[in-house]
Chain A
């Protein structure tokens, strides 16, 4: 079975721009969750989707949004980028609320 894939792997943007990251879960997994990892804050939960519905959202501003499609693929969007948004963004898929399988991440740099 193919693992979780994320595109792009690396991204450089400037302040004020917006960005869309993509995540394709393991086949059969209907739950996709997103996380931000920074050296200062560590790993933080962004949001979780199941069957196209956002079930939960972490403590992030409204500039962070996401969606899930009928094939379980998910995207997250960050609008009006700030320097502090530079981070590794990870998605994970799971079968229901079971063990998470993580993708390789997208490293976003905001200049």
Chain B
């Protein structure tokens, strides 16, 4: 079983829809990262969370440390949001210091 599980693996939406991508992890972590990867490979860091909720524009990320679960929400989705969204967990202490473990990614396609 992977340490980091994302769902769904594929998501298709119509422009304007509200989108949710989920990430669950199995061990205690220091921080959770949400990343966006467009075709061609470039990865952009969207959020880094250790508790609560963060918002940037139409993107909202939440994390529940007790339940080991995080969600990424996109409000009023747009075709330019089409990308792979990747969840990663990291540690800032112990033998896993600096290490990131990644989910398998969610492929999002938003149709006009």
Contact = CB atoms under 8 A, between A and B. Distances in A.
Interface of A: 31, 33, 35, 37, 42-45, 48, 50, 55-56, 58, 88, 90, 92, 97-102, 104-105, 107
Interface stretch (B18-26, B39-47, B58-66): B39-47
A98 B103 CA distance: 19
A97 B92 contact: yes
Given A42-B104, A97-B30, A97-B92, A102 B98 contact: no
B101 A45 contact: yes
A45 B101 CA distance: 7
B41 A43 contact: no
A43 to B, nearest CB: 4
A104 B40 CA distance: 9
Contacts, number: 58
A45 B31 CA distance: 16
A37 B92 CA distance: 23
Q: Main SS of chain A's interface residues? A: strand
Contact of A56 (B30, B44, B99, B103): B99
B44 A102 contact: yes
A97 B33 contact: no
Nearest to A101: B45
A105 B104 contact: no
A44 B99 CA distance: 10
A107 B92 contact: no
Contacts of B45: 99-102
Given A97-B90, A99-B33, A100-B33, A45 B41 contact: no
